[in-house]
Structure 1
Amino acid sequence: MSFKHKLAAGLAALGVLASLSGCTLGKSFDYAAKVGEVEISSGLYLYYQYASYLDAAEQSQKNPKEVKTVLKEQIGEQSATDYIKDQTKARCISYAAMENLFDKEGLEVTEEDEAQIEANVNQNWDSQKKVLEKNGIGKDTYRTLVRSALKSSKLFDHYYGADGLTPVGDDELKAYFESQYLHISFLALPKLNSESNAIPSDGIATINDLSEQMLAKLKDGATMKEVADEFMPQVLEVGGHSFAEGTDFVQQDFINKDTENYSTYPMNMINQIKADGVGDYNRYEAAQYTFVYQRQSALANESDFTSARTSLLVEMKEGEFSEKSKAAEEGLEIVYNEAAVKEFSPKKIKYVAS
């Protein structure tokens, strides 16, 4: 899988860089903890602690700006402070386990890898520098985070890539794509006008009537583009919408069947699409749009599979990869630099919104 894709996932798991800010540090320490032979630098510890604080704020449903309030909360049977400490510990152990697993598999960070790491650091450090350094996190720590994400990517490739120990072939991925995703080609008929206000009921009636005509034409053999070119100008005129000549109104989307909360489509529409057969045309009246669509095979276009291949591989194998990583954590114990951990108390966290 691509380094860039896994890097983004890895850094996201470590915490949200853009929203990270401020622990007041009175002292500096060579390290904050050790997990076996793996040293956890002060910067890494602070990074993981802040990520754990954000988790605590989310779990307690409190505003992360209110640090004192968050720390007074109970999360399950724990105080928020204990929860943060435990989550920070878990992140440290996870980091060490990944380092150990990388070495155990005989993998190496090559000169080319180091060049990629350095390019990433040089490209992104200036935009992160102010907020990270306020939290005691320097450029070396940032580089370590990028390197850790790269190692995770290389491990994933080592197991599941084309030349990996248990490679996943295209046939298996295509079967997953077809079974897991709904693919629709559709036209979205807006029920809000050009000023984002609701179109009056007579206008909505016109739009719905046009959608029925569109559906009938599709079922009679017209293509989606032919129907769009004939009817979409009439639909958009109802709401006072403008559009450029030659606009392609036909849209495509892939919807994971297991997703329970859709921001774009109502669940009733998703269930209707599931009930439709591949190749069927249908329509659905949602709150802000009436959709005229065709359910298609996820494999209708080879280019769609090619574009999605890396993401599909990650999605298909991320659970198994996580289990391998978790197994590598067994038996690992953390030994703290007590002076450092005392200095890096969660009470000193200062949240600043991005």
Structure 2
Amino acid sequence: MKRMKKVAALLLAVVMLASTAACSSDKSWAAKNDSLTVPIGSYIYELYAAYYSASSQTGDTAAGSASSQAAESSVLDRKIDGKDAKTWIREKALNSTKSLFVIDRKMKDLKLTLTDAEKASIKTNTDSSWANYKSTLEGYGIAESSYQLAAAEYSAKYQKVFQATYGKSGAKAVPDDELKSFFEKNYTDFSYVLCKLYKTDSSGNYSASFTDSEKKKAEAEFNDYASKISAGTMTLQQAADAYKSVDSTISVQNDTANLKTNLQGYPDDLVKLLDGMKAGETKAAEISSGYLYILATKNDIAKKTADEMKTDDGRNNLLADYKGQEFSDEISKEADSISGVTINEKAIDSYDPSMFAAEK
């Protein structure tokens, strides 16, 4: 009898060992807890996104080009934030994967759920972008469902948690007065007309630079316009109309932007020009390394506040600009220290960032 018990115990141990071995060799998932299992495809997508984030941070333009060796050398052989690129990419991908659990947990804590309309929007957005990325992502072993979880679904939940945190009734709700103050201190409202200091062909493409005399003539006209606008004898629109005899495509452009972050990518010399101007002031100046001459009027930003705040979209966009980085940092920090999540180290370690360097 005792012998039978020993044999049974030994067989049970063998079965348990086989079960454990099978589990440890399962590379279908990257991480999981008691309510969410993140498939390995979602991690690969995060690794892919981190690779190209590293590419942009190193200023690399070769990634994804025909020369995979040049791409790998320019991205993976560099350092980012004091770390070798491979380490940085892996850490960022893992942090992004853990962030899926952070947002999922916050959705539950805040008692938030996705509506049927939001779920439909997630599917629509996924299908739309998947059509463009399918061949590339499937080549790396990323299924559409994994892409949806890491991209559109995460984004929808992220925005929902953000609004529940900083929105009007959120735990860290931002008062209107505070948001207005941020807008007026950080944003610039301006109108401008651009003069090309070069010639174009029939298709509108660059053909030749202005001669010195042509350049001086254009600059003189724009400086004259600036003087007249400052004196109140001409408007910016009238200046544009006056220059149409030279360039029929010229027009007045208007923008309200946070030039401190300058996500729109305006030339540095334009940002510096506007920063040194007072509301109501008009100036003309050469920008973009001598390719353009600009006539710009800086408007009173306070007059734009009501327009920016009157719609939900406007207020939400401003709120995202104000608190977006703070929220992102918080999610990343929580992801680094999250508990109760099992990481499938064997699965994620089997994927190396260099796999993306060969993309053409």
TM class by shorter chain equals: 0.7 to 0.9
Q: CA deviation at 1:41?
A: 1.1
The alpha-carbon distance between structure 1 residues 131 and 295, as it changes in their structure 2 partners (threshold 3 A), is: same
**1:128 corresponds to which residue?**
133
Report the structure number with the largest CA radius of gyration: 2
User: Residue 40 of structure 1: SS of its match in structure 2?
Assistant: strand
Query: Which residue of the other structure, out of 331, 345, 348, is the alignment partner of 1:341?
Result: 348
Query: Which residue of the other structure, out of 158, 162, 165, is the alignment partner of 2:168?
Result: 162
TM-score (norm 1): 0.76
The alpha-carbon distance between structure 1 residues 265 and 324, as it changes in their structure 2 partners (threshold 3 A), is: closer
The alpha-carbon distance between structure 1 residues 129 and 283, as it changes in their structure 2 partners (threshold 3 A), is: same
Q: CA deviation at 1:318?
A: 0.9
Q: Is the 8 A contact 2:107 2:157 kept in 1?
A: yes
Q: Is the 8 A contact 2:95 2:335 kept in 1?
A: no
**1:104 corresponds to which residue?**
109
Q: CA deviation at 1:169?
A: 4.4
Give the number of the structure with larger relative contact order, counting CA–CA contacts within 8 Å between residues 6 or more apart.
1
TM-score (norm 2): 0.75
Worse-matched range after superposition: 298-307 or 185-194 = 298-307
User: Residue 189 of structure 1: SS of its match in structure 2?
Assistant: strand
**1:19 corresponds to which residue?**
none
**1:190 corresponds to which residue?**
196
Q: Is the 8 A contact 1:97 1:328 kept in 2?
A: yes
Q: Aligned pair count? A: 316
Q: Is the 8 A contact 1:184 1:254 kept in 2?
A: yes
User: Residue 285 of structure 2: SS of its match in structure 1?
Assistant: strand
Distance in structure 2 (CA, Å) of the matches to 1:134 and 1:177? 44
Q: Is the 8 A contact 2:58 2:75 kept in 1?
A: no
**1:75 corresponds to which residue?**
79
User: Residue 136 of structure 1: SS of its match in structure 2?
Assistant: coil
**2:267 corresponds to which residue?**
265
Q: Is the 8 A contact 1:101 1:328 kept in 2?
A: no
The alpha-carbon distance between structure 1 residues 324 and 88, as it changes in their structure 2 partners (threshold 3 A), is: closer
Q: Is the 8 A contact 2:31 2:37 kept in 1?
A: yes
Query: Which residue of the other structure, out of 213, 217, 220, is the alignment partner of 2:224?
Result: 213
Distance in structure 2 (CA, Å) of the matches to 1:250 and 1:194? 20
Query: Which residue of the other structure, out of 92, 95, 116, is the alignment partner of 2:97?
Result: 92
Query: Which residue of the other structure, out of 135, 150, 159, is the alignment partner of 1:153?
Result: 159
Q: Is the 8 A contact 2:283 2:295 kept in 1?
A: yes
User: Residue 227 of structure 1: SS of its match in structure 2?
Assistant: helix
Q: CA deviation at 1:108?
A: 1.1
Distance in structure 1 (CA, Å) of the matches to 2:183 and 2:227? 30
1:225 aligns with 2:237: yes
User: Residue 153 of structure 1: SS of its match in structure 2?
Assistant: helix
1:178 aligns with 2:166: no
- Percent of paired sites with the same residue: 21
Q: CA deviation at 1:153?
A: 0.7
The alpha-carbon distance between structure 1 residues 323 and 212, as it changes in their structure 2 partners (threshold 3 A), is: closer
Q: Is the 8 A contact 1:35 1:93 kept in 2?
A: no
User: Residue 309 of structure 1: SS of its match in structure 2?
Assistant: helix
**What do residues 164-217 of structure 1 show as CA deviations (whole Å, max 9, x unaligned)?**
334334443332222112222122222112343211122222212212321232
**1:52 corresponds to which residue?**
50
Distance in structure 1 (CA, Å) of the matches to 2:276 and 2:157? 43
Worse-matched range after superposition: 300-309 or 166-175 = 300-309
Query: Which residue of the other structure, out of 228, 251, 254, is the alignment partner of 2:253?
Result: 251
**1:137 corresponds to which residue?**
142
Q: CA deviation at 1:151?
A: 0.5
Task: Give the AA of the match of 1:298.
Answer: I
User: Residue 301 of structure 2: SS of its match in structure 1?
Assistant: coil
Task: Give the AA of the match of 1:211.
Answer: F
**1:14 corresponds to which residue?**
none
**1:39 corresponds to which residue?**
37
The alpha-carbon distance between structure 1 residues 212 and 71, as it changes in their structure 2 partners (threshold 3 A), is: closer
**1:11 corresponds to which residue?**
none
Q: CA deviation at 1:61?
A: 6.2
Q: Is the 8 A contact 2:95 2:332 kept in 1?
A: no
Q: CA deviation at 1:313?
A: 1.3
Q: Which runs of 5+ in 1 are unaligned?
A: 1-26
